A and B are shown apart, each in its own frame.
Chain A
Amino acid sequence: MTWALMMDVSLAIGLLFLAWQALIGGSLLRGIIMFIVFGMVLAVAWAWLGSPDLAMAEAAIGAGVTGALILVAYWRLKRVNAVEPADPSPLRSGVALVVAVLGTGLVAALGLASVAALEGEPVAGQLLNEALPETGIGNPITGVLIIFRSLDTLLEIAVVLAAYVAARAALGKRQVDLPTPSRDAPLMTALVTVIAPLAVLVAIYLLKAGGQIPGGAFQASALLAALGVMLVLAGRLESTLAVSLWVRLALIVGTLVFCLMGLGVMLFGLPLLAIPGTWAVYLIEAAMMVSIAITLVLLFAGSDGLKGVGR
């Protein structure tokens, strides 16, 4: 058995086991921990399949922010009920069987379709490889997201904004309480002091590097969002219902810059949403990074704004 085959087999078995345990795990909390670990192993699996971009997204969203979100949800559930939540075993539900059959069918159909697609000539990929060098962007994923399929990305960033507005409208003027460790915990101060500046540095690096190598606005914003969530949970940032102009501006800056850029180029005789150069790619990505990050943090904190807590 070759090393590569051993990797394939162990990752596949590990992922299936973790997914099964996350759903069936004896208690809710054990299922949550299995889910967090599932995210980490999935990131390794994507890396093994040679997709660093997907591995980064999975590590940031799956293992980081979602894990914290589900843990906090569990804590709030416990506080509301004050008892161990009911056994989450999905086996008892008839709906689960229908969903499982439909889900398996969908995955099988997608798998068969992608195997069939391998037969033909990769037209889109070839066109992309031919067109990419002219743009000055080396990372094909950033090229597709910002230059070749910019309308899709514009709609995605608009959806993020719409999701935040909908969540705020649904929650109303209620403060959401979050579990915070003791402010005086010595390790906490050290951890936050070390992690916070490093996270900002790495996020900016991801944004800049994303033009040429794997990385980009979405990975950078996920990291910034994780930093924001960390600061909220560590009690360094406090959620508030007072809305500041800066927060509102940060929420819309991604959509705003993208729209203004897309319309502005028409003044110079270019088509709608044309990208005039690499500087425009980085400008749009930076604006999107700020918007996505602040939206995720505010969604997590369930608040209209954030304010720093003095030492």
Chain B
Amino acid sequence: MIDHLLAAAIVFLLANLALGLWRIWRGPTTADRMLSALLFGATSVAVLILMAEWQAIPALRIVALLLVMLAAIITITYAGISRASGSSDQPGGQQR
């Protein structure tokens, strides 16, 4: 029973990611895309923690921990790029 619940929760989170993917694909601004990429990071962490319980592989929690620590690096890079190119939300300035 609990296995089914965990699996269903993971599949639900993956469905969320599919919607996030649509946001990355569509944009329209780079900030939208970047935020959606960060959503991928956070949701991946949730998927990994549930998977560690479901598959009984405790080491997956360490993978989740690593992903949490590393998500910040993309944010900082993006913040730097936005500032250095003088635009608040679109470093590329493109709308495609």
Show the binding face of A for B, using Cβ within 8 Å: 3-4, 6-7, 10-11, 14, 17-18, 21, 26-30, 33-34, 36-37, 40-41, 43-44, 47-48, 50, 52, 55-56, 59-60, 63-65, 67-68, 71-72, 74-75, 78-79, 84, 178-182, 185, 188, 191, 195, 198-199, 202, 206, 209, 213-215, 219, 223, 226-227, 229-230, 233-234
Chain A neighbourhood of B21, CB < 8 A = 14, 17-18, 37
Query: When the two chains form their complex, are residues B94 and A75 in contact, meaning their CB atoms are under 8 A apart?
Result: no
Show the binding face of B for A, using Cβ within 8 Å: 4, 7-8, 10-11, 14, 17-18, 21, 24-25, 27, 30, 33-34, 36-37, 40-41, 44, 47-48, 51, 55, 57-60, 62-63, 65-67, 69-85, 91-94, 96
A240 to B6, CA, bound (A): 50
Query: When the two chains form their complex, are residues A37 and B24 in contact, meaning their CB atoms are under 8 A apart?
Result: yes
Query: When the two chains form their complex, are residues B79 and A181 in contact, meaning their CB atoms are under 8 A apart?
Result: yes
| Interface SS of chain A | helix
A50-B57 in contact given A37-B37, A56-B63, A226-B69 (Cβ < 8 Å) = yes
A6 to B13, CA, bound (A): 12
A65 to B79, CA, bound (A): 16
Chain B neighbourhood of A27, CB < 8 A = 92, 94, 96
Chain A neighbourhood of B58, CB < 8 A = 213
Shortest beta-carbon distance from A58 to chain B in Å? 9
A44 to B79, CA, bound (A): 26
A68-B63 in contact given A7-B10, A29-B30, A37-B24 (Cβ < 8 Å) = no
A74 to B10, CA, bound (A): 34
A223-B76 in contact given A27-B92, A55-B63, A75-B84 (Cβ < 8 Å) = no
Chain A neighbourhood of B85, CB < 8 A = 75, 78-79, 179
Query: When the two chains form their complex, are residues A195 and B69 in contact, meaning their CB atoms are under 8 A apart?
Result: yes
Query: When the two chains form their complex, are residues B24 and A48 in contact, meaning their CB atoms are under 8 A apart?
Result: no
Shortest beta-carbon distance from A76 to chain B in Å? 10
Query: When the two chains form their complex, are residues A65 and B47 in contact, meaning their CB atoms are under 8 A apart?
Result: no
A178 to B7, CA, bound (A): 43
Which residue of B18, B75, B94 contacts A29 across the interface (Cβ within 8 Å)? B94
Query: When the two chains form their complex, are residues A52 and B76 in contact, meaning their CB atoms are under 8 A apart?
Result: no
Shortest beta-carbon distance from B32 to chain A in Å? 10
Query: When the two chains form their complex, are residues B44 and A60 in contact, meaning their CB atoms are under 8 A apart?
Result: no
Query: When the two chains form their complex, are residues B73 and A226 in contact, meaning their CB atoms are under 8 A apart?
Result: yes
Query: When the two chains form their complex, are residues B62 and A52 in contact, meaning their CB atoms are under 8 A apart?
Result: yes
Listed by A's residue number, 25 A-B pairs whose Cβ atoms lie within 8 Å are A7-B14, A18-B21, A27-B96, A30-B27, A30-B33, A33-B34, A33-B37, A37-B21, A43-B63, A44-B44, A44-B47, A47-B48, A56-B62, A64-B73, A67-B74, A72-B77, A74-B81, A191-B76, A195-B72, A213-B59, A214-B62, A215-B59, A230-B72, A233-B77, A233-B80
* Given A55-B60, A59-B63, 17 new contacts (CB under 8 A): A27-B96, A29-B91, A30-B96, A33-B24, A36-B74, A43-B44, A50-B55, A52-B63, A59-B66, A63-B41, A74-B92, A75-B91, A84-B92, A84-B94, A179-B83, A180-B83, A213-B62
